[in-house]
Amino acid sequence: MSRGFSLIELLLAMAMAAILLLIAYPGWGALRDRIAVNRAVDLLVAAHARARLIAASEQRASLLALTADSLVLRVPESEADTVERWRAPGPLQDGVSVTGMPKLVRFAPSGATLGAANATYELSRGVARRQVVVSRYGRIRVN
């Protein structure tokens, strides 16, 4: 008596695995889209929080440059020079498209934003969509 599987049994197992994969694949793509959009939202919220915290804790202005490619926080050292304090990849790295960028947000030494700092960012990839609304006072709402 031999041990193992026959060719028919192996083909049947492979066919069932292929059918299960075809059923699960569309849901897998939507899940990947949601994960990428949520990651981009988290980075955007963290960038605003970090810029506000640095401005308030160091009692000096900070500049947050938001583009689709990168999120960069700079702190002015003198009238003509700024130092990069933090950098993260932008939403485009994960294939997430965003409206409302590029944007330069200035934070006062108190941590409040200066100028027209209200912003609405629409982030999307595939079927996943999220909206981030930032008020002038630094309040962030994610829809």
Among left, alpha and beta (phi > 0; psi -120 to 50; other), residue 121 is: beta
Among left, alpha and beta (phi > 0; psi -120 to 50; other), residue 115 is: left
Fold adopted by 7-142: minor pseudopilin epsh fold (3.55.40)
Q: pTM for this structure?
A: 0.79
Alpha carbon distance 75, 109 (integer Å): 11
Alpha carbon distance 7, 43 (integer Å): 51
Given a contact cutoff of 8 angstroms between Cβ atoms, the answer to whether 60 and 109 are in contact is: yes
Alpha carbon distance 102, 96 (integer Å): 14
**Domain residue limits, the chain:** 7-142
Which tens digit of pLDDT belongs to each residue from 47-76? 999 999 999 999 999 999 999 999 999 998
Which tens digit of pLDDT belongs to each residue from 75-117? 988 778 889 999 999 999 999 999 988 889 999 998 888 876 6
